[in-house]
Amino acid sequence: MPAPGAVPLPGRDPGRRRKGAPGRPGSDADRQRTQRTQRSRRQVFNREDIYQGAARAGRGRKRKMSSRKGAKTQLTTPAAHKRVVRVDGTISVGQLGQEMGVKTNELIRKLMGMGVMATMNQQIDVDTASLLATEYDYEVKNVEFDEDAVLSGPADAQKVEADPDAVLRAPVVTVMGHVDHGKTTLLDRIRKANVASGEAGGITQHIGAYKVQVGDGKSVVFLDTPGHAAFTAMRARGASVTDLVVLIVAADDGVMPQTVESINHAKAAGVPLVVAINKIDKPGVDPERIKQELTKYEVVPEEWGGDTMCVPVSALSGQGIDELLENLALQAEILELKANPKKEAYGRVVEARVEKGRGPVCTVLVQEGTLKQGDYIVSGDHYGRVRAMLDHTGQRLKEAGPATPVEVQGLNGVPSAGDGFHVVKNEKDAKRVVSSRTDRARAQRSSTQGANAADLLANMGKVDKEVQNLILKTDVAGSYEAIRHSLEELGNDEVEVKIVHGGVGVISESDVTLATASEAKIIGFNVGPDTNAKRAADQGGVEILRFSVIYDVLDTVRDMLSGLLTPETVEEHLGKVEVRAVFHIQKVGAVAGSFVTEGKVVRGAHARVFRDGKLVGQGRISTLKRFKDDVREVATGYECGLSVDGYKDVQEGDTIEVFDLKLVKRKIDD
């Protein structure tokens, strides 16, 4: 169980797993849908991979595809006594073989024939399993539990737009900036000012988020888990809850490394910025200088023709704070953030911990719908019933609508920050979701990572440029610029390098979190990670590469890019045979008594049958015999008996070309 607020490992939430796709406010559902597709692409081979693979496997795409289809129809016809394999979402190649009584190697070979490299433990999806199963006259039945059918979930942006029940909601804001520039002071100031006006006594509780009123009925939600750790950690889970970032810059200090980092975090997440130039109460400070500095990072103030609001404030004296809040509300109006309060609630966990006497307690940001006391809830691997809800003033609530942070009691465990928070109809559904999630997580842990092959293949079908995200840290500014420039020049029209963040200094924990969020690798040039960064990288499986020679950096990144290139399928000629007689053998069917005139014939290899120089059929060599014995291969000058799977009409005088298909990695310089 991760500590509250700890950076969660990717994929911790088995239900809605991460993918750091940049998220515009309101597009949560879209993002989740793509996440889900991407997830299945990455971890599980699907039918598309196979078609892509098959398309590449032949020189002529059309011919290959149609002949494959032809083969399929032949094999699927007599389906009177089809046997059934039940698949729970995905199944490993080995398990499928077992269920059908087929050797795993044979299945692996079949998959290879379709252009998919899979290991025995590789999970394949229902469609892929069906394709394989039909070849053995099996039918695949998907018995996966569909948790989306019982969970409350985010509506996609277009639906919200068209939903007559959708109303404007408050924006959710994260404050980011360099250490000591005033994040905590600002958040405290805003919270206290608000509470003092509304409540007697002004006691506030830290629950990780709070909502403040801004003038005529408008409100703004602040996440006050300070710093960018929470923001990025959530984004690492694909859970961008932030609509706006307040970038705080101390006027007496200016743009500092973490300021730049914050800008990059916000940009990477596609979240608009509002700049608060802080500490303007100090004598001799010049807000204009700060604006000037910010332009270097493509943050251009509105008054200078850009699109970023800059508000001078003093978190200490309170000067400018109201104006900042009004500006946030204004920005939110531009974004037109909407949600339907009449649905069952859906949200995200902001913070969670176990409290003595209260049990697991978590702060949830309700994003849509209305959460009610007594609702059955599911989050991560945990479920329960809302026993009590408190707001940040310690007041008990019976209901919480969209864009409301509440502290919820009643889950049976502690979820992680960023986990989805769903309402279900009853306890039975809640238990089913959790048990299906735990099963799935277990299945995934047990499947070994055919990572390289999987990555290769996941990359196969994509048309867009593949991007290698990098974080570059160096010891001096000169080498940073030089390396960055050279790295960015490395790409071609298929792949490119994107430096999502970088600068001078040691590799920090925040660099590692950003790397997780953007699926980046970290490059340290004459610098290494500090202790926290090293631990976070080990935990999160983030790769940190260290160098002291520029050429080595370039070579390594060139190799990375080569790895992103779609591999090429190359045909390797194995041999040629002449058919001298055709026999009919019971069970096997037509066997071509042949003579190997060139190279060799190998069982399982691909074959093309030619008659009078014309291609008449193709398939795999399914039987290969020397006299009565099955053999693996037969060399030049020998006779053999063979049959071609998928082509039964071999005739005397035909020639058969035998070949293999190999996936060959390409190099970026090719």
Smallest distance, ligand GDP to C-beta of residue 190, A: 12
User: CB of 215 within 8 A of CB of 329?
Assistant: yes
Which of 605-635 are b and which e, b meaning 16 or more Cβ less than 10 Å from the residue's Cβ? bbbbbbeeeeeebbbbbebbbeeeeebebbe
Smallest distance, ligand GDP to C-beta of residue 7, A: 19
The DSSP H or E segment spanning 577 is strand 568-585
Nearer Cβ to ligand GDP (142/184) = 184
Smallest distance, ligand GDP to C-beta of residue 317, A: 7
Smallest distance, ligand GDP to C-beta of residue 189, A: 8
Smallest distance, ligand GDP to C-beta of residue 229, A: 12
Phi-psi group of 189: left, alpha or beta (phi > 0 → left; psi -120 to 50 → alpha; rest → beta): alpha
Nearer Cβ to ligand GDP (249/560) = 249
In order of 97, 117, 566, the CA distances from 457 in angstroms are 22, 8, 8
Nearer Cβ to ligand GDP (182/418) = 182
Nearer Cβ to ligand GDP (112/315) = 315
Nearer Cβ to ligand GDP (117/274) = 274
| Angle of CA points 53, 55, 58, to nearest 5° | 105
Q: What are phi and psi of 72, to 5 degrees?
A: -65, -40
Structure tokens at 545: 């590469």
In angstroms, the CA 484 to CA 478 distance is 10
Nearer Cβ to ligand GDP (327/594) = 327
Kindly tell me the burial class for residue 253, based on how many C-beta atoms sit within 10 Å of its own C-beta (0-12, 13-18, 19 or more).
middle
Nearer Cβ to ligand GDP (27/262) = 262
Q: What are phi and psi of 388, to 5 degrees?
A: -150, 150
In angstroms, the CA 51 to CA 59 distance is 14
Q: Which of 548, 425, 438 is nearest to 14 (CA)?
A: 438
In angstroms, the CA 518 to CA 500 distance is 8
Structure tokens at 193: 């000012």
Nearer Cβ to ligand GDP (315/430) = 315
Nearer Cβ to ligand GDP (194/262) = 262
Q: Which 8-state DSSP code applies to residue 304?
A: G
Smallest distance, ligand GDP to C-beta of residue 281, A: 5
Strands 338-339 and 167-168: antiparallel
In angstroms, the CA 240 to CA 154 distance is 13
Nearer Cβ to ligand GDP (180/538) = 180
In angstroms, the CA 646 to CA 606 distance is 11
In angstroms, the CA 274 to CA 256 distance is 17
Smallest distance, ligand GDP to C-beta of residue 277, A: 10
Nearer Cβ to ligand GDP (111/276) = 276
In order of 199, 225, 348, 364, 365, the CA distances from 209 in angstroms are 17, 7, 12, 9, 8
Nearer Cβ to ligand GDP (279/576) = 279
Smallest distance, ligand GDP to C-beta of residue 481, A: 28
Structure tokens at 487: 């790295």
The three-state secondary structure class of 63 is helix
Kindly tell me the burial class for residue 145, based on how many C-beta atoms sit within 10 Å of its own C-beta (0-12, 13-18, 19 or more).
middle
Nearer Cβ to ligand GDP (211/279) = 279
Nearer Cβ to ligand GDP (48/188) = 188
Phi-psi group of 538: left, alpha or beta (phi > 0 → left; psi -120 to 50 → alpha; rest → beta): alpha
Nearer Cβ to ligand GDP (7/247) = 247
In angstroms, the CA 447 to CA 440 distance is 11
In angstroms, the CA 121 to CA 444 distance is 10
Q: Which of 206, 172, 190 is nearest to 393 (CA)?
A: 206
Nearer Cβ to ligand GDP (181/437) = 181
In angstroms, the CA 3 to CA 13 distance is 15
User: CB of 635 within 8 A of CB of 578?
Assistant: no
User: CB of 488 within 8 A of CB of 468?
Assistant: no
Smallest distance, ligand GDP to C-beta of residue 175, A: 8
The overall longest dimension of the chain from CA atoms, in Å, is 102
Smallest distance, ligand GDP to C-beta of residue 178, A: 7
| Angle of CA points 14, 19, 22, to nearest 5° | 145
Smallest distance, ligand GDP to C-beta of residue 233, A: 18
Q: Which of 572, 658, 661, 569 is nearest to 609 (CA)?
A: 658
Q: Which residues bind ligand GDP (CB under 6 A)?
A: 177, 179-185, 226, 278-279, 281-282, 314-316
